[in-house]
Structure 1
């Protein structure tokens, strides 16, 4: 999974040369081909893979989590083309549960103000599939409060979008997708509250939640309910939204409290 770990408590980076699990090789290759074709050479800078598939730890099925770095911000038509690519890849392989494509302009990645967000992510959480590998521009990181803040600074915006998707969903599929993603993001954000104390970074949700609960045992019920959503159990919209709103408000207040204390 990783290259040799650097000295001094710095985190390792994923091994870019290690082969992917066979069942995911073709979907990954298809994603590279189709995104390059849809976006064109002038718009395409680089493409990265994260998650279980990038770590070569995926089961028989998994999400394909991609980050597309573009030379400029996309317009509506280009986002639509990317969404078509996403749908095609999802339909092409039974091994792929969902294709998640995040988009970020190059100037945002290279902005020094975002080094704890994109520098950390590219160096330690992703592998480059195609293009100019930006991770080579960054040194190794250690787990810190700055990293935790940066990796979760878009939580409110993401949850607002997912909340809207749940509200307008007319079928279980889209509602379960949005609820699952919201729960995953909330658990990762919860772990961000304690990562600097644990001095490690957890990628898997179970150990991340366990580390969080070792510091906040009174939040066990909320974590159990979030895992219920991750398991894609049907829950009424009102209950899902209430859980999202209540727990996210608490998480954000804890971030502010710790930031005042540390920052």
Structure 2
């Protein structure tokens, strides 16, 4: 199968490209820096920019299935960009006769009170759904891995602050997923015909709190942290506090933290594990792998 990965040089994209190539697919890796990346043998780089239509000629030519992994959180106008880029890709994929598109989105926890970040993800889902192909949406909370922006925030905090005064939402439930498991799910849906047109949640088998995530991350590095929740600290205020505590770009950190006010756990009725079972990694093991890199 000829498979296109849009956003191939990102944290998830590079791993997905390698796994698809290893599985025997003919892979096209698309990004602005695709030509500068050392891809596995047989992977076809396609260097272009969804913001520049002139660079996209032939992007979906001969493509059977495509993964859409574009998120523009570093830009102040990320929602507008993501809307425009998704519409451009949708039209190109429809014109080329792409059969399937898979989009990696986010679990929200409360569809009635979405953060700007998650509202944008939902909007992109809707834009992509307008194509002639079958769309499959996978929603994840924190993806645990060494280059994950969400996990890097947690990792940086436990490196720099032995005592953390944090918002009360550190005690809200979350259901992270190991990057290896996220890749297994993404690849697995290609062979699961029943996932066409579906929306699914992915996560580990356990539910933790953000506080437990921080404590376990610290412990895996031989550290201890004291976490003091403060009810009056808002997500907006805590996002500015992150300027001092993480190397993750502030627009990204602010967008991600604003999404942490609601529980983000897998809906049992949308759990992809029921359709595409994988041997899931425990949250503790995922953290151990991430901090060892």
Same fold (TM over 0.5): no
Question: Which structure would you say has the larger RCO, counting Cα contacts within 8 Å and 6 or more residues apart?
Answer: 2
TM-score normalised according to structure 1 size? 0.29
Structure (1 or 2) with the greater strand fraction: 2
Q: Which has the higher helix share?
A: 1
TM-score under structure 2 length normalisation: 0.27
